[in-house]
Structure 1
Protein backbone atom coordinates (compact mmCIF):
# COMPACT_ATOMS: atom_id res chain seq x y z
CA UNK A 1 0.00 0.00 0.00
CA UNK A 2 1.42 3.39 -0.98
CA UNK A 3 2.01 5.74 1.94
CA UNK A 4 0.74 9.28 2.11
CA UNK A 5 3.01 11.78 0.40
CA UNK A 6 5.42 13.69 2.61
CA UNK A 7 5.38 17.44 1.96
CA UNK A 8 8.55 19.49 2.41
CA UNK A 9 8.59 22.70 4.43
CA UNK A 10 8.95 24.79 1.27
CA UNK A 11 6.05 23.01 -0.42
CA UNK A 12 3.88 23.65 2.63
CA UNK A 13 4.80 27.33 2.56
CA UNK A 14 4.03 27.47 -1.17
CA UNK A 15 0.61 25.98 -0.49
CA UNK A 16 -0.04 28.38 2.38
CA UNK A 17 0.93 31.40 0.28
CA UNK A 18 -1.39 30.26 -2.51
CA UNK A 19 -4.27 29.74 -0.08
CA UNK A 20 -3.70 33.20 1.42
CA UNK A 21 -3.80 34.80 -2.04
CA UNK A 22 -7.45 33.84 -2.33
CA UNK A 23 -8.38 34.38 1.32
CA UNK A 24 -7.03 36.05 4.41
CA UNK A 25 -5.39 35.26 7.73
CA UNK A 26 -8.76 35.08 9.50
CA UNK A 27 -10.17 32.33 7.30
CA UNK A 28 -6.85 30.52 6.97
CA UNK A 29 -6.40 27.34 9.00
CA UNK A 30 -3.98 24.43 9.09
CA UNK A 31 -6.92 22.12 8.39
CA UNK A 32 -7.85 24.02 5.22
CA UNK A 33 -4.25 23.99 4.08
CA UNK A 34 -3.99 20.26 4.71
CA UNK A 35 -7.15 19.68 2.67
CA UNK A 36 -5.76 21.77 -0.19
CA UNK A 37 -2.57 19.72 -0.15
CA UNK A 38 -4.45 16.44 0.07
CA UNK A 39 -3.04 15.44 3.42
CA UNK A 40 -3.99 15.62 7.10
CA UNK A 41 -3.19 18.32 9.65
CA UNK A 42 -0.90 16.09 11.68
CA UNK A 43 1.58 15.88 8.79
CA UNK A 44 1.84 19.70 8.74
CA UNK A 45 2.28 19.94 12.49
CA UNK A 46 5.53 18.03 12.07
CA UNK A 47 6.87 21.18 10.40
CA UNK A 48 5.01 23.92 12.25
CA UNK A 49 3.64 23.81 15.79
CA UNK A 50 0.59 25.99 15.10
CA UNK A 51 -1.09 28.37 12.67
CA UNK A 52 0.78 31.42 13.98
CA UNK A 53 4.18 29.83 13.44
CA UNK A 54 3.18 28.87 9.91
CA UNK A 55 1.93 32.36 9.05
CA UNK A 56 5.10 33.91 10.41
CA UNK A 57 7.14 31.64 8.18
CA UNK A 58 5.06 32.67 5.14
CA UNK A 59 5.59 36.36 5.93
CA UNK A 60 9.30 35.81 6.45
CA UNK A 61 9.67 34.35 2.98
CA UNK A 62 8.40 37.64 1.54
CA UNK A 63 10.94 39.57 3.61
CA UNK A 64 13.69 37.18 2.56
CA UNK A 65 12.78 37.62 -1.11
CA UNK A 66 12.72 41.41 -0.69
CA UNK A 67 16.22 41.39 0.79
CA UNK A 68 17.66 39.04 -1.82
CA UNK A 69 20.48 40.84 -3.60
CA UNK A 70 19.99 44.04 -1.60
CA UNK A 71 23.11 46.18 -1.28
CA UNK A 72 22.97 49.28 0.94
CA UNK A 73 23.76 52.44 -0.99
CA UNK A 74 23.71 56.15 -0.22
CA UNK A 75 23.23 57.95 3.07
CA UNK A 76 20.98 56.78 5.90
CA UNK A 77 17.83 58.36 4.45
CA UNK A 78 18.41 56.76 1.06
CA UNK A 79 18.98 53.40 2.73
CA UNK A 80 15.76 53.56 4.76
CA UNK A 81 13.76 54.74 1.74
CA UNK A 82 15.21 52.03 -0.51
CA UNK A 83 14.43 49.37 2.09
CA UNK A 84 10.85 50.59 2.52
CA UNK A 85 10.26 50.61 -1.25
CA UNK A 86 11.69 47.09 -1.60
CA UNK A 87 9.26 45.83 1.04
CA UNK A 88 6.39 47.71 -0.58
CA UNK A 89 7.15 46.14 -3.94
CA UNK A 90 7.53 42.64 -2.49
CA UNK A 91 4.20 42.73 -0.68
CA UNK A 92 2.57 44.53 -3.59
CA UNK A 93 2.93 41.33 -5.60
CA UNK A 94 1.16 39.36 -2.84
CA UNK A 95 -1.03 41.95 -1.07
CA UNK A 96 -2.94 39.46 1.10
CA UNK A 97 0.32 38.54 2.79
CA UNK A 98 1.00 42.14 3.87
CA UNK A 99 -1.66 41.88 6.56
CA UNK A 100 -0.06 38.64 7.72
CA UNK A 101 3.25 40.42 8.22
CA UNK A 102 1.63 43.37 9.98
CA UNK A 103 -0.31 41.13 12.34
CA UNK A 104 1.96 38.17 12.96
CA UNK A 105 5.38 39.74 12.35
CA UNK A 106 8.25 37.33 11.81
CA UNK A 107 11.30 36.10 13.60
CA UNK A 108 13.05 34.40 10.72
CA UNK A 109 16.09 35.24 8.65
CA UNK A 110 14.18 37.68 6.42
CA UNK A 111 13.00 39.62 9.45
CA UNK A 112 16.51 39.76 10.90
CA UNK A 113 17.91 41.04 7.58
CA UNK A 114 15.33 43.86 7.55
CA UNK A 115 16.04 44.71 11.18
CA UNK A 116 19.80 44.73 10.65
CA UNK A 117 19.62 47.04 7.64
CA UNK A 118 17.19 49.46 9.29
CA UNK A 119 19.14 49.59 12.56
CA UNK A 120 22.40 50.09 10.67
CA UNK A 121 20.92 52.96 8.65
CA UNK A 122 19.53 54.71 11.73
CA UNK A 123 22.80 54.32 13.58
CA UNK A 124 24.66 55.72 10.58
CA UNK A 125 22.41 58.79 10.78
CA UNK A 126 24.26 59.82 13.92
CA UNK A 127 21.49 59.12 16.41
CA UNK A 128 22.62 58.28 19.93
CA UNK A 129 22.55 54.51 20.51
CA UNK A 130 19.91 55.00 23.22
CA UNK A 131 17.53 56.50 20.66
CA UNK A 132 18.07 54.05 17.78
CA UNK A 133 15.68 51.28 19.04
CA UNK A 134 12.80 53.73 19.51
CA UNK A 135 13.25 55.25 16.06
CA UNK A 136 13.58 51.78 14.58
CA UNK A 137 10.27 50.69 16.12
CA UNK A 138 8.36 53.73 14.94
CA UNK A 139 9.82 53.48 11.46
CA UNK A 140 8.97 49.82 10.99
CA UNK A 141 5.45 50.36 12.37
CA UNK A 142 4.92 53.15 9.85
CA UNK A 143 6.24 51.07 6.95
CA UNK A 144 4.19 48.01 7.90
CA UNK A 145 1.05 50.13 8.37
CA UNK A 146 1.41 51.86 5.01
CA UNK A 147 2.06 48.58 3.21
CA UNK A 148 -0.87 46.85 4.92
CA UNK A 149 -3.22 49.75 4.12
CA UNK A 150 -2.13 49.75 0.49
CA UNK A 151 -2.48 45.99 0.27
CA UNK A 152 -6.19 46.31 0.98
CA UNK A 153 -6.56 48.14 -2.31
CA UNK A 154 -4.22 45.80 -4.13
CA UNK A 155 -6.33 42.78 -3.29
CA UNK A 156 -9.50 43.98 -5.05
CA UNK A 157 -10.23 43.24 -8.69
CA UNK A 158 -9.95 45.84 -11.45
CA UNK A 159 -13.74 45.78 -11.82
CA UNK A 160 -14.23 46.45 -8.10
CA UNK A 161 -11.71 49.28 -8.22
CA UNK A 162 -13.39 50.84 -11.26
CA UNK A 163 -16.77 50.64 -9.51
CA UNK A 164 -15.38 52.20 -6.33
CA UNK A 165 -13.72 54.98 -8.34
CA UNK A 166 -16.98 55.77 -10.12
CA UNK A 167 -18.86 55.86 -6.82
CA UNK A 168 -16.21 58.22 -5.44
CA UNK A 169 -16.53 60.50 -8.46
CA UNK A 170 -20.32 60.64 -8.20
CA UNK A 171 -20.21 61.24 -4.43
CA UNK A 172 -17.66 64.04 -4.69
CA UNK A 173 -18.88 65.84 -7.79
CA UNK A 174 -22.47 65.48 -6.64
CA UNK A 175 -21.84 66.91 -3.16
CA UNK A 176 -24.37 69.54 -2.09
CA UNK A 177 -22.38 72.83 -2.01
CA UNK A 178 -24.56 74.21 0.78
CA UNK A 179 -23.92 71.26 3.09
CA UNK A 180 -20.38 70.47 1.90
CA UNK A 181 -19.05 73.82 0.64
CA UNK A 182 -15.33 72.99 0.94
CA UNK A 183 -15.73 69.57 -0.66
CA UNK A 184 -17.66 71.15 -3.53
CA UNK A 185 -14.90 73.74 -3.95
CA UNK A 186 -12.15 71.12 -4.28
CA UNK A 187 -14.29 68.40 -5.91
CA UNK A 188 -12.49 68.35 -9.25
CA UNK A 189 -9.06 68.07 -7.64
CA UNK A 190 -9.69 65.57 -4.83
CA UNK A 191 -8.30 62.15 -5.73
CA UNK A 192 -9.69 58.74 -4.72
CA UNK A 193 -7.85 56.75 -2.08
CA UNK A 194 -6.19 54.47 -4.62
CA UNK A 195 -4.57 57.27 -6.63
CA UNK A 196 -0.84 58.10 -6.39
CA UNK A 197 -0.20 55.51 -3.69
CA UNK A 198 3.55 55.44 -4.20
CA UNK A 199 3.82 59.23 -3.98
CA UNK A 200 1.77 59.23 -0.78
CA UNK A 201 3.93 56.42 0.62
CA UNK A 202 7.13 58.35 -0.10
CA UNK A 203 5.75 61.63 1.28
CA UNK A 204 4.69 60.08 4.58
CA UNK A 205 7.98 58.24 4.93
CA UNK A 206 9.94 61.42 4.12
CA UNK A 207 8.03 63.35 6.79
CA UNK A 208 8.88 60.66 9.32
CA UNK A 209 12.55 60.74 8.33
CA UNK A 210 12.52 64.54 8.69
CA UNK A 211 11.45 64.07 12.30
CA UNK A 212 14.25 61.58 12.89
CA UNK A 213 16.72 64.00 11.34
CA UNK A 214 15.63 66.66 13.79
CA UNK A 215 16.68 64.33 16.62
CA UNK A 216 20.25 63.97 15.36
CA UNK A 217 22.66 65.92 17.61
Structure 2
Protein backbone atom coordinates (compact mmCIF):
# COMPACT_ATOMS: atom_id res chain seq x y z
CA UNK A 1 0.00 0.00 0.00
CA UNK A 2 1.54 3.30 -1.05
CA UNK A 3 0.69 6.73 0.31
CA UNK A 4 -2.40 8.07 -1.42
CA UNK A 5 -4.51 10.72 0.22
CA UNK A 6 -8.24 10.48 -0.40
CA UNK A 7 -10.23 13.68 0.28
CA UNK A 8 -12.05 13.72 3.60
CA UNK A 9 -15.63 13.67 2.21
CA UNK A 10 -14.80 10.53 0.23
CA UNK A 11 -13.37 8.55 3.18
CA UNK A 12 -16.53 6.58 3.88
CA UNK A 13 -17.80 3.73 1.75
CA UNK A 14 -21.57 3.44 2.01
CA UNK A 15 -22.03 0.62 -0.47
CA UNK A 16 -21.36 -2.93 0.74
CA UNK A 17 -18.41 -4.97 -0.51
CA UNK A 18 -18.80 -8.01 -2.74
CA UNK A 19 -19.51 -10.01 0.41
CA UNK A 20 -22.22 -7.61 1.52
CA UNK A 21 -20.07 -6.01 4.23
CA UNK A 22 -19.94 -2.25 4.69
CA UNK A 23 -16.33 -1.19 5.22
CA UNK A 24 -15.28 0.79 8.27
CA UNK A 25 -11.97 1.73 9.83
CA UNK A 26 -12.66 -0.66 12.72
CA UNK A 27 -13.44 -3.59 10.41
CA UNK A 28 -10.23 -2.99 8.44
CA UNK A 29 -8.15 -2.80 11.65
CA UNK A 30 -9.68 -5.98 13.05
CA UNK A 31 -9.07 -7.78 9.75
CA UNK A 32 -5.48 -6.54 9.68
CA UNK A 33 -4.96 -7.83 13.23
CA UNK A 34 -6.25 -11.24 12.21
CA UNK A 35 -4.11 -11.41 9.10
CA UNK A 36 -0.96 -10.32 10.94
CA UNK A 37 -1.63 -13.00 13.54
CA UNK A 38 -2.01 -15.64 10.85
CA UNK A 39 0.68 -14.59 8.37
CA UNK A 40 2.95 -12.03 10.07
CA UNK A 41 3.98 -8.61 8.79
CA UNK A 42 3.79 -9.77 5.16
CA UNK A 43 0.00 -9.89 5.49
CA UNK A 44 -0.21 -6.11 5.64
CA UNK A 45 -0.76 -5.52 1.92
CA UNK A 46 -3.62 -4.03 -0.04
CA UNK A 47 -4.15 -7.24 -1.98
CA UNK A 48 -4.46 -9.49 1.05
CA UNK A 49 -6.67 -7.05 2.93
CA UNK A 50 -8.86 -6.59 -0.11
CA UNK A 51 -9.26 -10.35 -0.52
CA UNK A 52 -10.02 -10.83 3.17
CA UNK A 53 -12.60 -8.05 3.13
CA UNK A 54 -14.06 -8.95 -0.24
CA UNK A 55 -13.44 -5.38 -1.36
CA UNK A 56 -11.57 -3.59 -4.11
CA UNK A 57 -8.14 -2.82 -2.63
CA UNK A 58 -8.42 0.82 -3.68
CA UNK A 59 -11.34 1.23 -1.26
CA UNK A 60 -8.90 0.96 1.66
CA UNK A 61 -7.45 4.35 0.74
CA UNK A 62 -10.70 5.90 1.87
CA UNK A 63 -9.65 5.06 5.43
CA UNK A 64 -5.83 4.89 5.51
CA UNK A 65 -3.08 6.74 3.65
CA UNK A 66 -0.93 3.61 3.45
CA UNK A 67 0.21 0.50 5.27
CA UNK A 68 2.16 2.53 7.81
CA UNK A 69 -0.96 4.51 8.66
CA UNK A 70 -2.84 1.23 9.07
CA UNK A 71 -0.08 -0.19 11.27
CA UNK A 72 -0.38 2.83 13.57
CA UNK A 73 -4.12 2.20 13.79
CA UNK A 74 -3.46 -1.45 14.67
CA UNK A 75 -0.97 -0.45 17.39
CA UNK A 76 -3.48 2.06 18.76
CA UNK A 77 -6.19 -0.59 18.79
CA UNK A 78 -4.05 -2.80 21.04
CA UNK A 79 -3.63 0.11 23.46
CA UNK A 80 -7.37 0.71 23.41
CA UNK A 81 -8.15 -2.91 24.20
CA UNK A 82 -5.79 -2.77 27.18
CA UNK A 83 -7.54 0.33 28.52
CA UNK A 84 -11.09 -0.81 27.79
CA UNK A 85 -11.90 -2.38 31.15
CA UNK A 86 -9.18 -0.76 33.30
CA UNK A 87 -10.44 1.32 36.21
CA UNK A 88 -8.31 3.41 38.62
CA UNK A 89 -8.30 2.64 42.32
CA UNK A 90 -6.75 5.87 43.58
CA UNK A 91 -3.56 4.10 44.68
CA UNK A 92 -0.95 5.35 42.21
CA UNK A 93 1.35 2.34 42.52
CA UNK A 94 -1.46 -0.16 42.14
CA UNK A 95 -2.93 1.80 39.23
CA UNK A 96 0.35 1.90 37.33
CA UNK A 97 1.05 -1.74 38.10
CA UNK A 98 -2.33 -2.93 36.86
CA UNK A 99 -2.13 -0.71 33.79
CA UNK A 100 1.36 -1.93 32.90
CA UNK A 101 0.35 -5.57 33.30
CA UNK A 102 -2.71 -5.03 31.11
CA UNK A 103 -0.67 -3.44 28.32
CA UNK A 104 1.88 -6.26 28.53
CA UNK A 105 -0.80 -8.96 28.53
CA UNK A 106 -2.59 -7.27 25.65
CA UNK A 107 0.57 -7.47 23.57
CA UNK A 108 0.79 -11.20 24.15
CA UNK A 109 -2.73 -11.74 22.81
CA UNK A 110 -1.54 -10.39 19.43
CA UNK A 111 2.22 -10.98 19.51
CA UNK A 112 2.92 -10.47 15.81
CA UNK A 113 1.16 -7.10 15.78
CA UNK A 114 2.72 -6.10 19.10
CA UNK A 115 6.23 -6.67 17.77
CA UNK A 116 5.46 -4.44 14.78
CA UNK A 117 3.89 -1.63 16.77
CA UNK A 118 5.74 -1.53 20.09
CA UNK A 119 8.28 1.07 18.94
CA UNK A 120 5.76 3.38 17.25
CA UNK A 121 4.11 6.59 18.40
CA UNK A 122 0.58 6.57 17.00
CA UNK A 123 -0.72 9.99 18.02
CA UNK A 124 -4.18 8.41 17.96
CA UNK A 125 -7.07 8.49 20.37
CA UNK A 126 -6.19 5.48 22.55
CA UNK A 127 -2.52 6.37 22.88
CA UNK A 128 -3.44 9.96 23.78
CA UNK A 129 -5.79 8.65 26.45
CA UNK A 130 -3.04 6.38 27.82
CA UNK A 131 -0.50 9.24 27.98
CA UNK A 132 -3.01 11.49 29.76
CA UNK A 133 -3.98 8.71 32.16
CA UNK A 134 -0.43 7.77 33.16
CA UNK A 135 0.68 11.38 33.56
CA UNK A 136 -2.46 12.05 35.60
CA UNK A 137 -1.63 9.17 37.95
CA UNK A 138 1.92 10.41 38.46
CA UNK A 139 0.99 14.08 38.90
CA UNK A 140 -1.83 13.09 41.22
CA UNK A 141 0.65 11.13 43.34
CA UNK A 142 2.62 14.32 43.90
CA UNK A 143 5.46 14.06 41.40
CA UNK A 144 6.50 17.44 39.95
CA UNK A 145 5.86 17.78 36.23
CA UNK A 146 9.47 17.14 35.07
CA UNK A 147 9.75 14.09 37.31
CA UNK A 148 6.33 12.83 36.20
CA UNK A 149 7.45 12.98 32.56
CA UNK A 150 10.72 11.16 33.30
CA UNK A 151 8.88 8.42 35.17
CA UNK A 152 6.23 8.23 32.46
CA UNK A 153 9.00 7.73 29.92
CA UNK A 154 10.65 4.98 31.98
CA UNK A 155 7.34 3.26 32.70
CA UNK A 156 6.14 3.23 29.10
CA UNK A 157 9.46 2.25 27.57
CA UNK A 158 9.93 -0.56 30.07
CA UNK A 159 6.41 -1.85 29.44
CA UNK A 160 6.73 -1.71 25.65
CA UNK A 161 10.23 -3.19 25.68
CA UNK A 162 9.09 -6.21 27.65
CA UNK A 163 5.93 -6.40 25.52
CA UNK A 164 8.04 -6.55 22.35
CA UNK A 165 10.50 -9.05 23.84
CA UNK A 166 7.86 -11.39 25.23
CA UNK A 167 5.63 -10.98 22.17
CA UNK A 168 8.53 -11.94 19.91
CA UNK A 169 9.05 -15.05 22.01
CA UNK A 170 5.35 -15.86 21.95
CA UNK A 171 5.33 -15.48 18.16
CA UNK A 172 7.93 -18.24 17.79
CA UNK A 173 6.72 -21.72 16.86
CA UNK A 174 5.98 -23.84 19.91
CA UNK A 175 8.83 -26.18 19.05
CA UNK A 176 11.30 -23.27 19.14
CA UNK A 177 10.01 -22.06 22.51
CA UNK A 178 10.23 -25.55 23.96
CA UNK A 179 13.76 -26.00 22.59
CA UNK A 180 14.90 -22.77 24.23
CA UNK A 181 13.41 -23.79 27.57
CA UNK A 182 15.16 -27.13 27.24
CA UNK A 183 18.54 -25.40 26.96
CA UNK A 184 18.28 -24.34 30.61
CA UNK A 185 17.79 -27.99 31.60
CA UNK A 186 20.20 -29.68 29.25
CA UNK A 187 23.01 -27.13 29.19
CA UNK A 188 22.96 -24.76 32.15
CA UNK A 189 21.71 -27.26 34.72
CA UNK A 190 24.60 -29.60 33.83
CA UNK A 191 27.48 -27.15 34.08
CA UNK A 192 29.89 -28.28 36.82
CA UNK A 193 30.34 -26.27 39.99
CA UNK A 194 34.11 -26.48 39.56
CA UNK A 195 33.99 -24.22 36.51
CA UNK A 196 30.66 -22.39 36.89
CA UNK A 197 29.90 -22.28 40.64
CA UNK A 198 27.18 -19.62 40.50
CA UNK A 199 25.28 -21.22 37.63
CA UNK A 200 25.52 -24.62 39.30
CA UNK A 201 24.27 -23.26 42.62
CA UNK A 202 21.25 -21.55 41.04
CA UNK A 203 20.52 -23.91 38.15
CA UNK A 204 17.21 -25.21 39.46
CA UNK A 205 15.97 -21.66 39.83
CA UNK A 206 17.18 -20.77 36.35
CA UNK A 207 15.25 -23.71 34.91
CA UNK A 208 11.97 -22.54 36.45
CA UNK A 209 12.42 -18.78 36.18
CA UNK A 210 14.00 -18.09 32.81
CA UNK A 211 11.13 -19.28 30.58
CA UNK A 212 8.86 -16.80 32.39
CA UNK A 213 8.56 -13.07 31.76
CA UNK A 214 10.61 -10.85 34.05
CA UNK A 215 8.25 -7.94 33.48
CA UNK A 216 6.22 -8.17 36.74
CA UNK A 217 9.41 -8.06 38.81
CA UNK A 218 10.94 -5.29 36.70
CA UNK A 219 7.72 -3.29 37.03
CA UNK A 220 7.69 -3.68 40.81
CA UNK A 221 11.34 -2.59 40.99
CA UNK A 222 10.55 0.52 38.93
CA UNK A 223 7.56 1.42 41.07
CA UNK A 224 9.53 0.90 44.28
CA UNK A 225 12.27 3.18 42.97
CA UNK A 226 9.65 5.76 42.00
CA UNK A 227 8.13 5.62 45.47
CA UNK A 228 11.56 6.22 46.96
CA UNK A 229 12.03 9.28 44.77
CA UNK A 230 8.63 10.59 45.80
CA UNK A 231 9.56 10.13 49.47
CA UNK A 232 12.68 12.23 49.00
- Shorter-chain TM-score bucket reads 0.7 to 0.9
Q: Is the 8 A contact 2:75 2:118 kept in 1?
A: no
Residue 4 of structure 2 corresponds to none
- After superposition, residues 1-217 of structure 1 pair within 5 angstroms as 5=18, 7-25=23-41, 28-175=44-191, 177-191=193-207, 193-195=210-212, 197=213, 200-216=214-230, 217=232
Gaps in structure 1 of 5+ consecutive residues: none
What is the alpha-carbon distance in structure 2 between the residues aligned to residue 94 and residue 4 of structure 1? 27
**Structure 1 residues 212, 30: CA separation in 2 closer, same or farther (over 3 Å shift)?**
farther
Bigger drift between 23-32 and 92-101 goes to 23-32
TM-score (norm 2): 0.80
For structure 1, which segment, 207-216 or 27-36, has the greater mean C-alpha deviation from structure 2 after superposition? 27-36
Task: Describe the SS at the equivalent of 2:85.
Answer: coil
* Equivalent pairs, count: 213
Q: Distance in 2 between matches of 1:101 and 1:176?
A: 42
1:19-40 deviation line (CA, Å, top 9, x unaligned): 1102433663334433444444
User: What is the Cα-based RMSD across aligned positions, in Å?
Assistant: 2.5
Q: Please give the alpha-carbon distance, in whole angstroms, between the structure 2 residues aligned to 1:124 and 1:9.
A: 35
TM-score, structure 1 as length reference? 0.85
Distance 1:51 1:115, change over 3 A: same
Native 8 Å contact 2:36 2:42 kept in 1: no
Per the alignment, do residues 88 and 4 of structure 1 end up closer, same or farther by CA in structure 2, a change over 3 Å counting?
A: closer
Distance 2:150 2:203 in 1: 40
- Asked whether the 8 Å contact 2:17–2:53 carries over to 1, the reply is no
Aligned partners of 1:13 and 1:58 also within 8 Å? yes
Q: CA deviation at 1:173?
A: 2.7
Change in Cα spacing, 1:188 to 1:66, as seen in structure 2 (3 Å) is closer
List, as ranges, runs of 4+ consecutive aligned residues in structure 1 with deviation greater than 4 Å: 176-179
CA contact (8 A) 1:34 1:40 kept: yes
Q: Please, which runs of 5 or more residues in structure 2 have no aligned partner?
A: 1-15
